[in-house]
Amino acid sequence: MGTVGDAGFGGGVPYAGVPAVFDDRTRDACVVVPGIMGSVLEDTETGRPLWGVDLGILTNSSMGDGLFGALHANEQERAADADTARRVPLTRILATGLLAKPWWLPVFEGLDPYTGAVEALRKATLGPGAVAPFPYDWRLSVAYNGAVLARAARAHLTRWREQVASRPQWRAAGERRPRLVFVAHSMGGLVVRAALEQDPELAAETRAVVTVGTPFLGSAKSVLALNLLNAGSRPARLLRQVQAMAATLPGAHDLLPGYRCLDRGLDVERLTPVDVAHFGGNHDLAARSLDEHARHRADRFLLPGHRAIVGEAQPTVQTLDEQQRAGLAVAAGRRHAFDVSDDGELVRDPATGIPVRRDASGDGTVHIPSAQAGTEAVTYVFGQHGTLMRHDEVLRQIRRIALERPQGTNLGPGGPDAGPGMETPHLGGTVGEPLTLTVTGLGTPAGVRLSVSSATTGRPGHPLTLRRDPDRTDGALSARFTADAPDLYRVTLDTGRHVPIAQLVLVTLPDS
């Protein structure tokens, strides 16, 4: 009998005639970084959960008032930066885990848990210890959380390398020294970028960064969240609480768009801190965020091994124009962007001189140019921003990248009408109030299923009837849904030809 080792391999182990077949696993360490709202927060002193545990904070006015107030950033938290994190980390509020149940917030809309992404990575690694969730206090600045992440990721990589070295049975997976793979959703991608900018040695230890719906250029929706009091047609309790909280949060301001987004008709301007303050935000927090955008435009820092997963075909607010209502500055969201030439100048119609507008589409929160900025390795999926991390195609891509598989052919986006899209009320609704649910990008309702179920209990609902919407000029379809109880509802669009698209909608009791 020959031996495995006759040619110098395997140390002369007798060959039994049946070569071993190993599971396809990666040796690398993985870190999952959620987006804004994606970490459970609790009061350090009392242990009281403040966010991500009990939906009562959103649906129950007596519970929500106190908890939203506790989430306001104080003066020390508003000033915290990377140096703060390295010297004296803040401890008033603690991030205890990734979101484990569906959540929702006006304007930002639904957010699914990160359980699926963590499990997908654990199945692709040598052991569950290779995957580390990174919950963080998303209220604070990206720079602060980047410094916290850099320290945590380095410690995780060290622990994992020690574990791999101690397990001889894992040598069959190869001898390559484990490196880091980051999987980040939404604002989490900005936190990863900050961590690797601040720690170049950590960047050198990173094999890949997967960003899912990350607003590298910002999101116009962040302005709408700061503008809720000015623009709300109904100043509901929840809208007041969200606006008051967001106006104090560095994290919310770090999502401000840094691209030209303010439509002045014959010109398009970048936001200024004065603009943000007029819209309801904080002047100083806006100034810091917009300065960071300017720095990134100049530095052009590239994430190592960056792969961007980008949602497309969903109706997405991309730019804003300013209106006046009762003496207040109202930010109106617009579903178009502006072409910019290689020299940074606006592309204008040669006949009229008017800036060329086009619908760049996106995932309902982040438009495509923002989510794909800084990388040529892009995968496009039909999906809504907050539910992308539960999207089957996204989970498949995450696993493939963790296993170092090639991306394959990517045809790229075919325009805003190239696939199915969905619109839901971004401010939610109330019991007994009919909600309009809209489907875009499809020519006919034939074979299309739109359904509503409870996201908290899983109780299924009845399919809704889709009809051509007479108020739309784009051929959209719509259906009406009236909830009979307050709950977080999951709206699911299934065409039978694409991965289903889902979004979450909160329905509350009417304000008393």
Sign of CA dihedral 72, 185, 151, 24: positive
- Compute the distance between CA of residue 5 and CA of residue 431 in angstroms, rounded to an integer: 72
Same domain assignment for residues 135 and 268: yes
Tell me if 8 is assigned to some domain: no
446 vs 504, which has greater pLDDT?
A: 504
251 and 383 share one domain: yes
pTM over 0.85: yes
Q: In what order do the strands lie in the sheet with 435-440?
A: 421-423, 435-440, 477-481, 467-468
Q: At what angle do helices 237-246 and 61-71 cross, to 10 degrees?
A: 10
Is residue 15 situated within a structural domain? no
Q: Is residue 7 part of a domain?
A: no
Residue 340 shares a structural domain with residue 446: no
Among the three residues 387, 419, 451, which one is the final residue of a domain in this structure? 419
Paired residues of 481 in beta bridges? 435
Residue 270 within any structural domain of the chain: yes
Which among 384, 419, 454 is the end of a domain?
419
Domain boundary among the residues 402, 419, 436 is at: 419
Q: Do 450 and 387 sit in the same domain of this protein?
A: no
Residues 168 and 124 in one domain: yes
| DSSP-derived pairing of the beta strands 206-212 and 306-312 | parallel
Dihedral angle sign, alpha carbons of residues 378, 382, 386, 389: negative
Domain count, the chain: 2
Q: Would you say 315 and 423 are in contact if contact means Cβ atoms under 8 Å apart?
A: yes
135 plus 217 within the same structural domain: yes
From 280-284, 301-305, 475-479, the region with the lowest mean pLDDT: 475-479
437 with 341, same domain: the answer is no
CA distance 370 to 317: 12
Note whether residue 254 is domain-resident: yes
Q: Is 49 part of a structural domain of the chain?
A: yes
Return the closest-CA partner of residue 384 out of 197, 244, 213.
213
Q: 227 and 340: one domain?
A: yes
Q: Domain containing 485: what range?
A: 421-512
> How far is the C-alpha of 98 from the C-alpha of 32, rounded, in Å?
9
Does residue 17 fall inside a structural domain?
Answer: no
Tens digit of each residue's pLDDT (9 = 90 or more) over 360-392: 999 999 999 999 987 879 999 999 999 999 999
465: left (phi over 0), alpha (psi -120 to 50) or beta: beta
Q: What is the CATH number of the domain that holds 368?
A: 3.40.50
Q: 244 and 161 in one domain?
A: yes
pLDDT tens track for 38-76: 999 999 999 999 999 888 888 776 666 778 899 999 999
Domain co-membership, 48 together with 186: yes
Q: How does residue 345 score in pLDDT terms, banded at 50, 70 and 90?
A: confident
Contact 444, 476 (CB under 8 A): no
Q: What is the tens place of the pLDDT at every residue in 93-141? A: 999 999 999 999 888 889 999 999 999 999 999 999 999 999 999 999 9
396 with 444, same domain: the answer is no
pLDDT tens per residue across span 180-195:
999 999 999 999 999 9
Task: For residues 347 and 244, state if they share a domain.
Answer: yes
Which residue reads 């071993």 in tokens?
A: 20
Structure token digits, residue 169: 């049975």
* CATH number of 512's domain: 2.60.40.10
For residue 237, the Cα-to-chain-centroid distance in whole angstroms is 25
Alpha-carbon dihedral 159, 162, 164, 165, rounded to 10 degrees: 170
Q: Are 169 and 176 in contact (CB under 8 A)?
A: no
Q: Is residue 124 part of a domain?
A: yes
Counting Cβ atoms within 10 Å, is residue 483 exposed (0-12), middle (13-18) or buried (19+)? buried
Residue range 39-49, pLDDT digits in tens: 999 999 999 99
Of 431, 442, 449, 446, the residue nearest 489 (C-alpha): 431
Structure tokens at 291: 């300065």
Place of tokens 């001898």: 175
